[in-house]
Structure 1
Amino acid sequence: MTFNQQKNTQTNEIVDIRIVNISLDNFENAYFLGIGGIGMSALARYFKSLGWNVAGYDKTPSPLTESLQQEGIDVHYEDRNSSISSPYGDKAKTLVIVTPAVPKNLGELLHFQFNEFEIVKRSEVLGLITKTSKGLGVAGTHGKTTTSTMLAHLLDQSEVKCTAFLGGISSNFNSNLVLNPSAAYTVIEADEFDRSFLRLSPFASIITSADPDHLDIYGDAAHFREGFELYAGLHPENGVVVQKYGLNLPTAAKTITYGINEPDSEYCGLNVRVENEKYLFDVQTPSGKWEAVELGIPGIHNAENAIACIALCQFLGVDEATIRSGLKTFLGVKRRFESIVKSQNLIYIDDYAHHPTELKALIDSIRLIYHDRKVTGVFQPHLFTRTRDFFEGFVAQLSRLDEVILLPIYPAREEPIPGVTSDALLEKITAPDKKLMLPGEVVNYLSAHTEGVFLTIGAGDIDRIVNPLKKEWSE
């Protein structure tokens, strides 16, 4: 292992990033600690496709772990400590991949550490993969999963092709992994959490936003911004950084700007609209105006994501007709503005939004499409630190709903913070109708409703009520 000291040329600050100097060719076995995570499971599938032996631990069963087991990957849910089955006891041939969500006192992790196995993070593995292919990163506080999935779909529909590691289940591919072994490009989500994206070697990227988040890691907005400046600085001179207009991230690569109603951006989206239930927008490009581009999924933010994909795809040589066809046939990502139930009187949409900016984009889009309907949102705050750091933003956006149902804060990796509760949020929210419920109470309460627009929103385990609600309303 070495540490790469990366210097921000704007602030002269130094960030130490661990760089893994190993060859994947030396290994035959991949053992995952936290295999049920969306990013981890994509890597598990990737190594399985290479012919490796793949196994792993996760805390609880899920539809994703069950899918992995059906694909021939050994998954278990109890801590086996040092009782690791063959062939994963061979440290010379076994690569151990760990997620930060795994407890540091997990017996299996301690066993691998004590016996000096090669233990790497998911982002470090992606960094190794981007050293042997042209990495196409999608970075940003918001929109990474939808944009990277859209980009992968467009490239897969073209002659360019790509392999892609996605942070959600693509509705087109029905997977979080896209495999084209002969493709020159690899699409990856460049995740800013824990500065993971600084371990990548990107050739080109889309950067959608740099709104402060993960302040428990970065400390303040200035250091968060610094992380994105360092990431933009990783690109080579012959690459490109497609960045949202106004970000102004410095890079040695070519810069292309994009935005909606930003006339000074190089790719400018205009006239976002709904016509005959089709989601349309126009795009002014450097080579001319594209009229009435149809997008297969709704959402103002998704139109903006599509404009970024248009810019990068054109840079990579994909023609207009192929791009238009791909956008029209794009079906989106599970839990990203996902339409669950749609009838004449009742609309139910599930969305992963967990930051005030994402809430704003979701609610703006809902109001554009369903402007005359009552909108009820069930929101599960994610992380005590995020709720604390963006408290007023959550209050402002949730107050725009007609009815708000709050669930308790989903803690993930965190301990409670005194005074940071859903009750405190509820007290400040000014929506006409508001209440606090437990997840088990929501289904019974909402199933009695037969009209309106209903949203389940959040990045925790709120997805567990999606199918019960779908069943109630579908019946």
Structure 2
Amino acid sequence: MKLTDYHSVYFIGIGGIGMSALARWFVHNGYQVSGYDRTPTKLTKVLEQEGMAIHYDDNVENIPADVMDNMEKSLVVYTPAIPASHQEFNYLKDKGYTIKKRSAILGMISEHFFTVAVAGTHGKTTTSSMVAHLLKSAGKDITMFLGGLATNYDSNFIANESDKAVAIVEADEFDRSFLTLSPDLAIVTSADADHLDIYGDKSHLEQSFKEFINKIKDSGKLYINDKIVNELVDHTAKAEINTYGMNRGQFLASNVTMENGFFQFDYNDKQTRIERLILGVPGFHNVENITAAIAIGLELGLSDDQIRHGVETYSGVKRRFEYQLRTEQIVYVDDYAHHPVEINAFLTSLKALYPDRKVTAIFQPHLFTRTRDFADGFAESLSLADEVILLDIYPAREEPIEGVTSELLFKDITSEAKELCSKEHLIECLKEKELEVVATIGAGDIDKLVEPVKELLNNRYHV
């Protein structure tokens, strides 16, 4: 199939962060774009303003006429996160429409670009945005498909169709989606056990990452976190293998210090040394992520000065260590972390930045299966906080599992103070507490609580 064979593109799950980036690409290239999503959000409202017809009721009658009346010219794109019972999906499938997963379409689009793909169970969104910003701030032509909103551009999508454009894409391991890609350059940040509802165990997840590494073009290069190179790289890998890390690897960050809430470090490889880079976003893990991005930037011809400018002007991704308030009285940070390793990295960095202040972590578990599979890890990582407020599990695509509730984590959390709380009562709960550093953490709909929490803290501390 060729994308040029179609006139209309219909997205089932258009409000997903990865889906919406693809939808924007199709609009940019002149297609008629419409779609369904379960609930309206800030993002879907923006998509509607950009010309996309979106509805929020799973009803075949809501599918636009240009899709219903012209099957041959209509392409249907879906996310595997939709339920098997989805009425519109099943109707279009039964009628014989061309239906493709989001990942397959991303693979088809990226074939026409020199492509940098970033994979990893953690860090891929941030690292992708870092690569994109280093290149764009240096004047390079890029096309970006991101699984988050890059703060520098307030978007998950950047368009450029020139012959010299470099595509930066996230290589998502969920549902083995990244196996549709054949990048020229790739980064693998991490491969911790996750998505065990898909993979069953860590060994099958690692096998999928090995298959992704083997999808890199023979003339291409892999930049892999030095911590995991021995787990994922074997004799079958054809691409050139490079390692990176903090104080380890061929491309490394060293002399890492914190000053005035910012991380400073030296970048080193065999050819290049760039001293005292100042990273605009916090987190030890982000020092690792930017090191991989710098390696890509240098590979694609950026100068030391362009690297320095890009690193210092990078302002992050929405909901990735995102400061909502930062004063002498109160600090409030929001983060997307939803896996024990991510929470550990986030809270370790937060505690390092504010070692003498009480940290209150508000966490919403994401998925019943993930909560069940990593209960011990969640309890251990959350215990880094001085105080934990635990919300109910956000189900996303899953049905409840008997015996799997937030209590499964709560009982093993060892923080000085801990409390179970519903979303509806969170603000009332916070009113009773002495707060110094507050963090909202999770990948569900906890983001809807950010503004109410911020308002409470603004009013209390007169920010």
User: Are residue 178 (structure 1) and residue 158 (structure 2) matched?
Assistant: yes
Match of 2:268 among 284, 287, 290: 284
Residue 144 of structure 2 corresponds to 164
What is the percent sequence identity of the aligned residues? 46
Residue 199 of structure 1 and its aligned partner are, at CA, apart by 1.1
**1:304-335 deviation line (CA, Å, top 9, x unaligned):** 10000011111111111111101100110110
Between 83-92 and 53-62, the greater mean CA deviation after superposition: 83-92
The one of 106, 114, 125 aligned to 2:86 = 106
| Partner residue, 1:214 | 195
SS of equivalent residue, structure 1 residue 211:
coil
Task: Provide the rounded CA distance (Å) in 2 between the counterparts of 1:196 and 1:431.
Answer: 38
**Structure 1 pair 92/286, CA: closer, same or farther in 2 (3 Å)?**
same
Bigger shift: residues 149-158 or 222-231: 149-158
Q: 2:356 aligns with which of 351, 372, 379?
A: 372
Task: Report the counterpart of residue 246 of structure 2 in structure 1.
Answer: 260
Which aligned pairs between 1:217-296 and structure 2 lie closer than 5 A? Answer: 217-248=198-229, 249-250=233-234, 251-262=237-248, 265-296=249-280
CA contact 1:447–1:473 (8 Å) conserved in 2: no
Range that drifts further, 103-112 or 190-199 = 103-112
Q: Is the 8 A contact 2:261 2:282 kept in 1?
A: no
**Shift, 1:474, TM fit:** 2.1
Q: Does the Cα contact within 8 Å between 1:31 and 1:95 map onto a contact in 2?
A: yes
TM normalised by structure 1 equals 0.93
RMSD of aligned C-alpha atoms? 1.3
Contact 2:19 2:79 in 1 (8 A): yes
Q: Which amino acid aligns with 1:106?
A: H
Instruction: Tell me the residue number matched to 2:3.
Output: 24
Deviation at 1:447, TM superposition (A): 4.1
Q: Structure 1 stretches of 5 or more lacking a match?
A: 1-21
The farther-off stretch of 189-198 and 435-444 is 435-444
Is 1:313 the counterpart of 2:335? The answer is: no
What is the TM-score of this pair, normalised by structure 2?
0.95
Cα deviation digits, residues 175-197 of structure 1 (max 9, x gap): 11011221432111100000000
Find the aligned partners of 2:100 and 2:114 in 1 and give their Cα distance. Answer: 21
Which of 93, 100, 116 pairs up with 2:96?
A: 116
Structure 2 residue aligned with 1:77: 56
Q: What is the CA–CA distance in structure 2 between the aligned matches of 1:391 and 1:312, rounded to whole Å?
A: 36
Q: Which has the larger helix fraction?
A: 2
| 1:393-450 alpha-carbon deviations (Å, 9 max, x no partner) | 1111111110000011111111222222211211111111001000121122224556
Q: Using the alignment, how far apart are the partners of 2:260 and 2:383 within structure 1? A: 30
Determine the C-alpha separation between the residues in 1 that align with 2:325 and 2:432.
Answer: 15
Q: Secondary structure at the match of 2:286?
A: helix
Instruction: Write the distance in 2 (CA, Å) between the matches of 1:392 and 1:450.
Output: 28
Aligned to 1:153: 133
Q: 1 CA distance for matches of 2:412 and 2:434?
A: 28
Secondary structure at 1:92's aligned position in 2? helix
Tell me how far apart the structure 2 counterparts of residues 85 and 125 of structure 1 sit (CA, whole Å).
Answer: 21
101-110 or 33-42, which deviates more: 101-110
On the 8 A contact 2:344/2:384 being kept in 1, the answer is: no
Mapped partners of 1:30, 1:356: distance in 2: 37
Question: CA shift at 1:289, angstroms?
Answer: 2.6
Q: Distance in 1 between matches of 2:303 and 2:80?
A: 40
1:15 aligns to what? none
5+ long unaligned stretches in structure 2: none
1:18 is aligned to: none
**What is the correspondence of 1:315-330 to structure 2 with a 5 Å cutoff?**
315-330=299-314
User: How far 1:86 moved relative to its partner?
Assistant: 2.4
SS in 1 for 2:184: strand
Determine if contact 1:80/1:108 at 8 Å carries over to the other structure: yes
Once the two structures are TM-superposed, the CA of residue 279 in structure 1 deviates from its matched residue by 2.3
Pairing partner for 1:433 from 417, 420, 433:
417
Instruction: Kindly state the Cα deviation for residue 344 of structure 1 after the two structures are TM-superposed.
Output: 1.0
The offset of 1:161, in angstroms, is 2.3
- For residues 75-123 of structure 1, the C-alpha deviation after alignment (integer angstroms, 9 at most, x for no partner) is 1112231553221121111110111222222222122112111101110
Give a deviation string over 1:40-95, Cα, whole Å, max 9, x none.
Answer: 11111111111110110111111111111111111111223155322112111111
Matching residue within 21, 46, 54 for 1:42? 21
1:245 counterpart letter in structure 2: D
For 1:325 and 1:304, locate their aligned partners in 2 and report how far apart those are by CA, in whole Å: 18
Counterpart code for 2:228: L
Q: Distance in 2 between matches of 1:53 and 1:404?
A: 47
Matches of 2:176 and 2:302, distance apart in 1: 31
Determine if the alignment matches structure 1 residue 200 to structure 2 residue 181. yes
Name the aligned partner's letter for residue 202 of structure 1: P
* Bigger shift: residues 77-86 or 124-133: 77-86
Q: Which amino acid aligns with 2:101?
A: K
Alpha-carbon shift at residue 253 of structure 1 (Å)? 1.1
Native 8 Å contact 2:361 2:440 kept in 1: yes
Q: 2: distance between equivalents of 1:170 and 1:372?
A: 31
The letter for the 2-side match of 1:127 is: G
Paired residue type of 1:173: Y
8 A Cα contact 2:375 2:408, kept in partner: no
Distance 1:31 1:341 in 2: 39
Aligned partner of 1:406 among 386, 390, 414: 390
Distance 1:433 1:49, change over 3 A: same
Aligned pairs for 1:86-97 (under 5 A) are 86-89=65-68, 90-97=70-77
CA distance in 1, matches of 2:43, 2:441: 20
The aligned amino acid for 1:108 is E
**Counterpart in 1 of 2:124?**
144
Count of aligned positions: 452
- CA distance in 2: counterparts of 1:277 and 1:429, whole angstroms: 28
Q: Aligned to 2:370, what secondary structure does the other structure show?
A: helix
Q: Structure 1 residues 380 and 277 mapped into 2: Cα distance closer, same or farther (>3 Å)?
A: closer
